[in-house]
């Protein structure tokens, strides 16, 4: 996967520990049946994995997959073979699910994966949604957005972890494509060192009710920074619960997050957002100094 991304100028870094952790949290994916490798003389040259989920709120069944082929073996039909094998596997799975829901095959592509997008379109897939990757190229002149009255940021303690996860899950229900997380994913999150960095998080509490109102779970991917010779932080997992929206809380938390990243020696920051986010997040992030630099795509085909 890393070699494939490097060839497409897609910045991606994952340690062996990251991969192992991801395998622990897989939902609706049987590693013995839902993964395929292509190899030549004992050397892996391609990879594919599939999984499925049912969107919340009576949404469709989505049968998702990813395909990667190392650059020197591309344009020989290997990716297409992997894709069709995964489609066949997903059709078998879909046959066991109720028919009253719509069903779609789905795959996501990162900006720069031109070959993958071409292959998907040739196989009948169409782009249905986009996400924006937004960068703040400097951590100078960070805006000072005040914390709304009655709210305060507190240090994160282990006894807060479950509530932090739960409130983010609640706030995410308004997002396009939302599907509930599993207990396995929560447990894997607790040991995911790349993103689980509570000392950097900004968690706002309502003083009167003692409830979490919003959060930004900042993290720094040190391995990625070393690989690409940069000093980049991630202003991610941004959410505000419904009763506390439209009060400037997200801006205040993002401002604090950016300041923490700067204190950690970072010189830039990045975040991702649904291009059609209904809460106006794209404009909010622009107000905080972020600009769109890449667009990623979600492709679907009716099953």
Q: Does residue 301 fall inside a structural domain?
A: no
Q: What is the mean pLDDT of the chain?
A: 93
d(CA 35, CA 22): 14
Question: 218 and 181 in one domain?
Answer: yes
Q: Does residue 129 fall inside a structural domain?
A: no
CATH number at residue 215: 3.40.630.30
By percentage, how much of the chain surpasses pLDDT 70?
Answer: 96
Q: Which two tokens stand for residue 66?
A: 């990813």
* Distances 51 to 61, 83, 116 between C-alpha atoms, Å: 11, 13, 18
- Summarised one tens digit per residue, pLDDT across range 216-255 is 999 999 999 999 999 999 999 999 999 999 999 999 999 9
Domain boundary among 124, 159, 185: 124
Any idea what DSSP says for residue 145? Answer: P
Question: 225 and 89 in one domain?
Answer: no
d(CA 180, CA 185): 10
Residue 84 main-chain phi, psi, to 5 deg: -70, -30
Contacts for 36-41: CB closer than 8 Å, 24+ residues apart: 36/82, 36/85, 36/86, 38/69, 38/73, 38/78, 38/81, 38/82, 40/73
Domain interval for residue 43: 2-124
* Distances 281 to 2, 56, 92, 106, 236 between C-alpha atoms, Å: 30, 21, 38, 25, 12
What is this structure's pTM?
0.90
Question: 22 and 103 in one domain?
Answer: yes
**SS3 call for 1:** coil
Nearest-CA neighbor of 50 among 69, 70, 25, 28?
28
Q: Does residue 303 fall inside a structural domain?
A: no
- Summarised one tens digit per residue, pLDDT across range 261-294 is 999 999 999 999 999 987 789 999 999 999 999 9
The answer to whether 47 and 67 are in contact (CB under 8 A) is yes
Question: 45 and 155 in one domain?
Answer: no
Q: How many domains does the chain fold into? A: 2
d(CA 295, CA 141): 26
Question: 248 and 151 in one domain?
Answer: yes
**SS3 call for 264:** coil
Residue 142 main-chain phi, psi, to 5 deg: -70, 125
- Summarised one tens digit per residue, pLDDT across range 222-233 is 999 999 999 999
How many Cβ atoms sit within 10 Å of the Cβ of residue 251?
A: 19
pLDDT, mean of residues 133-150: 97
Domain boundary among 101, 124, 147: 124
Domain boundary among 124, 154, 173: 124
Q: Does residue 199 fall inside a structural domain?
A: yes
Any idea what DSSP says for residue 71? Answer: G
């Amino acid at each position: 996967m890393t070699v494939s991304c490097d060839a497409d100028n897609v910045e991606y870094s994952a340690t062996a520990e990251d991969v192992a952790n991801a395998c622990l949290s897989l939902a609706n994916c049987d590693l013995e049946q839902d993964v395929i490798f292509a190899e030549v003389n004992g050397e892996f040259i391609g990879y594919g994995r599939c999984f499925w989920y049912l969107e919340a709120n009576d949404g469709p069944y989505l049968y998702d997959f990813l395909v990667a082929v190392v650059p020197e073996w591309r344009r020989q039909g290997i990716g297409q073979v992997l894709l069709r094998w995964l489609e066949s596997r997903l059709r078998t799975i879909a046959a066991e699910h109720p028919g009253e829901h719509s069903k779609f095959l789905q795959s996501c592509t990162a900006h720069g994966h031109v070959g993958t997008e071409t292959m998907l379109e040739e196989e009948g897939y169409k782009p249905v949604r986009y996400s924006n990757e937004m960068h703040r190229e400097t951590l100078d002149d960070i805006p000072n957005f005040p914390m709304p009255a009655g709210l305060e940021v507190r240090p994160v303690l282990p006894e807060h972890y479950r509530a932090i996860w739960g409130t983010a899950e609640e706030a995410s229900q308004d997002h396009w494509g939302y599907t509930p997380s599993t207990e396995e994913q929560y447990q894997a999150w607790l040991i995911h060192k790349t993103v689980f960095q509570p000392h950097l998080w900004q968690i706002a509490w309502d003083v009167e009710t003692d409830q979490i109102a919003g959060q930004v779970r900042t993290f720094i991917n040190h391995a990625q920074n070393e690989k690409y010779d940069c000093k980049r932080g991630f202003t991610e997992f941004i959410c505000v619960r419904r009763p506390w929206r439209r009060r400037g809380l997200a801006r205040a938390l993002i401002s604090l997050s950016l300041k923490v990243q700067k204190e950690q020696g970072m010189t830039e920051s990045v975040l991702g957002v649904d291009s059609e986010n209904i809460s106006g997040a794209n404009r909010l992030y622009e107000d905080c100094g972020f600009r769109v630099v890449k667009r990623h795509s979600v492709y679907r085909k009716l099953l």
